[in-house]
């Protein structure tokens, strides 16, 4: 068969285009053997298809697919995860807005829901639920050890504001029932903002949500109007959130051109973020409080302040999560959070801690090795030395290492205090006090008035009577005298939270026994 010149040209053009297309695909995937990787991914589909066709029992293919995805992502870093529709919705709602329910986050590692956090100011925290509680029953339905789906647990606990639910938990082997009135869960991120003295302001930030910068700016403006020249910014327990909010918050304190953070990954070129110099707090002395639960966006902020010698970082080594998570959502409502880059402080420190064998138990390891009580036991990689703008050495190895270490205080925990803590006696007592004095307590909006009122109630005597009558806990001779100075501020704080002052009352009562805040007041934002 004879080909015309046009046919030959068309055929040659097709071959050339095919070669160019193949080269383009290979160029886009430079680190892969294209055919080999394609066949490996195809293998997963083939296996699932064969299971579906030939397995002896009926298959839930949706569950099989989800399990395969979870297993595949488990081979990556600990924070690249698959989120089923319910979990994806929950994670987005937690940062974006309000919802109605009891106000807890939990996970289910071994067929039992374990409370990770009670939302500050929410119904569960006010009732007395604590991190580590194992949820056994919701109303009369046992959910522990019954292979109850997580979305079913969520539906049981959620409900319209004003309705009641009984949550029974196992705490250190003791079953404790809590009656909780569901409510609109407060999703604000500034838990408290007030003046400690004529010059010192205090702001407690619980998360980096969509409203963080707006709330912080409003709170700090009021403190500036009240005469603030030194800010104690409390990021303890703040697990992070939206990256842009951390950038805007850092920008409030830094001069134009000062570095905030940079990110870099295998497929993501380095990207630097610097301050624009338009912040409102550039001249305010700054103390930043951190601990082992301070993570992600909180560490970006802390690292920027430390590397620019802008303030004093006080507390204990932060968590060490410095990963850029890219959301990829699917049409069925599920999604993945995939790590694409790492965060680095301006001096070059990688915030992310190593993925070693003990990664999931890192906090427990810190306790075991004495890091919580001794600065000498702190994990510091001295082979990785970096320098602040003034030449101070700072170290990598994961997390932000504070300028001033404050140990966890374990010396004041008497046997009476420990027994009360195990049964949540103080929190349930606070709820009982509110029930009896709510008509007066709920109307107080002035802290000095609240202090006088609580003192008039002789809560110490009432608490001892309550602990013995309700929980069978009686202080040994001399034990209350030893415990009183530590426990009464906590009792006042828990009761005070039921006033109109809410969390402000809690943190203000707590200040005298908070060693980290006391250290910040001593340093006044200056590095010694």
- Give backbone dihedrals phi and psi of 261, rounded to 5 degrees, phi first: -170, 160
pLDDT greater than 50 at residue 10: no
CB contact at 8 A, 342 and 264: yes
**Proportion of the chain above pLDDT 70, given as a percent:** 88
pLDDT greater than 90 at residue 244: yes
Domain coordinates in residue numbering, the chain = 33-75, 98-184, 190-408, 415-518
Min mean pLDDT across 193-207, 253-267, 353-367, 505-519 is at: 353-367
pLDDT greater than 90 at residue 381: no
pLDDT greater than 80 at residue 353: yes
Helix 459-471 and helix 479-496: axis angle, to 10°?
Answer: 100
Report residue 37's pLDDT band, with 50, 70 and 90 as the boundaries: low
Tell me the residue length of the chain.
528
Mean pLDDT of the chain: 86
Q: Do domains 98-184 and 190-408 have the same CATH topology?
A: no
Instruction: Tell me the CATH number for domain 190-408.
Output: 3.90.226.10
Q: Which residue has the tokens 């300028």?
A: 403
pLDDT greater than 60 at residue 427: yes
pLDDT of residue 1: 41
Min mean pLDDT across 81-95, 124-138, 238-252, 311-325 is at: 81-95
- Averaged over 386-398, what is the pLDDT? 92
**Highest mean pLDDT pick, 13-27, 146-160, 346-360, 449-463:** 449-463
Catalytic residue among 234, 307, 502, 503: 307
- Averaged over 143-157, what is the pLDDT? 88
* Long-range pairs, 159-162, Cβ under 8 A, ≥24: 159/100, 159/101, 160/100, 161/100
Catalytic residue among 321, 353, 379, 423: 321
Catalytic residue among 296, 318, 483, 499: 296
CB atoms closer than 10 angstroms to residue 431: 17
Query: Between residues 159 and 256, which one has the greater pLDDT?
Result: 256
Is 307 one of the annotated active-site residues of the chain? yes
pLDDT of residue 86: 64
Q: Report the alpha-carbon angle 122-491-523, nearest 5.
A: 90
CB contact at 8 A, 476 and 412: no
Question: Using one digit for the tens of pLDDT, what is the confidence trace for 49-71?
Answer: 898 889 899 888 888 888 888 88
- Averaged over 424-438, what is the pLDDT? 87
Q: Which fold has domain 98-184?
A: Pdz3 Domain (2.30.42)
Report residue 139's pLDDT band, with 50, 70 and 90 as the boundaries: very high
């Amino acid at each position: 068969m004879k080909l015309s010149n046009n046919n030959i040209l068309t055929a040659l053009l097709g071959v050339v285009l095919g070669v160019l297309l193949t080269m383009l695909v290979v160029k886009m995937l430079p680190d892969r053997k294209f055919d080999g990787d394609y066949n490996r991914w195809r293998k997963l589909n083939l296996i699932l298809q064969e299971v579906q066709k030939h397995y002896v029992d009926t298959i839930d293919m949706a569950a099989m697919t989800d399990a395969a995805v979870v297993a595949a992502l488990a081979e990556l870093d600990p924070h690249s995860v698959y989120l089923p529709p319910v979990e994806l919705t929950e994670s987005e709602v937690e940062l974006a807005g309000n919802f109605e329910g009891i106000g807890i986050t939990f996970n289910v590692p071994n067929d039992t829901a374990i409370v990770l956090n009670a939302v500050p100011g929410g119904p569960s925290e006010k009732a007395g639920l604590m991190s580590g509680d194992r949820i056994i029953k919701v109303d009369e339905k046992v959910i522990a050890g019954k292979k109850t789906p997580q979305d079913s647990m969520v539906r049981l606990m959620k409900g319209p504001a004003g309705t009641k639910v009984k949550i029974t938990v196992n705490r250190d082997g003791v079953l404790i029932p809590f009656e909780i009135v569901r409510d609109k869960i407060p999703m604000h991120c500034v838990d408290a903002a007030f003046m400690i003295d004529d010059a010192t302001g205090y702001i407690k930030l619980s998360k980096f949500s969509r409203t963080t910068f707006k709330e912080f700016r409003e709170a700090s403006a009021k403190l500036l109007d009240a005469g603030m020249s030194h800010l104690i910014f409390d990021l303890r327990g703040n697990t992070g959130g939206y990256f842009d909010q951390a950038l805007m918050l850092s920008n409030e304190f830094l001069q134009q051109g000062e570095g905030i953070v940079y990110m870099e990954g295998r497929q993501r070129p380095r990207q630097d973020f610097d301050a624009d110099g338009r912040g409102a707090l550039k001249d305010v002395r700054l103390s930043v409080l951190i601990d082992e639960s301070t993570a992600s966006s909180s560490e970006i902020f802390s690292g920027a302040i430390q590397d620019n010698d802008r303030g004093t970082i006080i507390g204990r080594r932060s968590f060490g999560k410095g990963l850029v998570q890219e959301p990829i959502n699917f049409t069925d409502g599920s999604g993945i959070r995939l790590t694409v880059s790492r965060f680095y402080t301006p001096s070059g420190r990688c915030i992310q801690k190593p993925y070693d064998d003990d990664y999931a138990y890192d906090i427990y390891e810190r306790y075991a090795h004495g890091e919580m009580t001794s600065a000498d036991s702190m994990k510091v990689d001295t082979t990785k030395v970096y320098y602040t703008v003034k030449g101070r050495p700072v170290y990598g190895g994961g997390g932000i290492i504070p300028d001033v270490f404050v140990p966890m205080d374990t010396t004041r925990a008497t046997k009476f205090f420990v027994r009360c803590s195990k049964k949540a006696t103080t929190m349930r007592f606070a709820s009982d006090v509110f029930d009896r004095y709510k008509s007066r307590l709920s109307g107080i909006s002035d802290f000095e008035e609240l202090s006088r009122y609580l003192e008039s109630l002789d809560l110490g005597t009432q608490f001892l009577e309550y602990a013995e009558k309700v929980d069978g806990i009686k202080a040994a001779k001399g034990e209350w005298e030893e415990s009183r100075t530590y426990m009464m501020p906590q009792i006042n704080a828990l009761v005070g939270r039921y006033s109109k002052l809410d969390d402000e009352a809690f943190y203000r009562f707590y200040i005298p026994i908070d060693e980290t805040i006391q250290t910040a007041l001593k340093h006044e934002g200056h590095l010694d």
